[in-house]
Amino acid sequence: MTNFDKSSKAAVKKVMNLTEMGLPNGMELLSKPNRTILAADSQKGAVFKIDIGTGKHEIVIDIDEMKNPENPIVPIAVNGIKIREGYLYWTNSSKALFCRIKINEDGTAAGDVEILGEGLVGDDFCFDQKGNAWLTQNPLNTVGVVKAQGGIVTVAGKLDQLTLAGGTACQFDRKSGNEHILYVVTTGGLGGPVNGTDVEGGKVTALDTSKFKY
Could you please report the per-residue DSSP string of 91-134?
EETTTTEEEEEEB-TTS-B-S--EEEEES-----EEE-TTSPEE
State whether 114 and 173 are in the same domain.
no
Phi/psi of residue 47, each to 5°? -115, 130
Instruction: Identify whether 209 is part of a domain.
Output: yes
Residue 150 and residue 170 share a domain:
yes
Query: How far is C-alpha 201 from the geometric centre of its chain's CA atoms?
Result: 21
Domain count, the chain: 2
Same-domain status, 95 and 28: yes
**Model confidence over 66-103: pLDDT tens digits?**
999 999 988 999 999 999 999 999 999 999 999 999 99
Is 154 among the domain residues?
Answer: yes
- Domain shared by 111 and 138, yes or no: no
Of 65, 90, 120, which residue sits at a domain end?
A: 120
pLDDT digits (tens, 9 = 90+) for 148-182: 988 999 999 999 999 999 999 999 999 999 999 99
What CA–CA distances, in Å, run from 42 to 65, 78, 111, 162? 12, 5, 22, 26
Choose the weakest-confidence range: 5-14, 16-25, 121-130: 5-14
Clarify whether residues 26 and 105 are in a common domain.
yes
Same domain, 138 and 185: yes
pLDDT the model gives residue 125: 98
- Range(s) of the domain holding residue 143: 122-214
Residue 55 forms part of a structural domain: yes
pLDDT band of 13, cuts 50, 70, 90:
confident
How much of the chain exceeds pLDDT 70, in percent?
Answer: 96
Residues 126 and 207 grouped into a single domain: yes
Structural domain ending residue among the three candidates 96, 120, 144:
120
| CA neighbor of 188 nearest in space, from 207, 214, 167 | 167
Angle 60-92-74 (CA atoms, 0-180°, nearest 5)?
120
Domain with residue 55: its CATH number is 2.120.10.30
Q: Is 156 a member of any domain?
A: yes
Which of 120, 153, 182 is the C-terminal boundary of a domain? 120
Q: What is the mean pLDDT of the chain?
A: 94
Please state, in angstroms and rounded to a whole number, the distance separating the CA atoms of residues 198 and 49: 39
- Please tell me the distance from the alpha carbon of residue 46 to that of residue 108, in angstroms, as a whole number: 12
pLDDT computed for residue 177 by the predictor: 93
The verdict on 94 and 110 lying in the same domain is yes
- For residue 7, pLDDT over 90 is answered with no
Are residues 109 and 102 in contact, defined by beta-carbon separation less than 8 angstroms? yes
Count CA atoms within 13 Å of residue 202 on its CB side. 12
Ordered strands of the 204-208 beta sheet: 167-172, 181-186, 204-208
35-55 average pLDDT score: 97
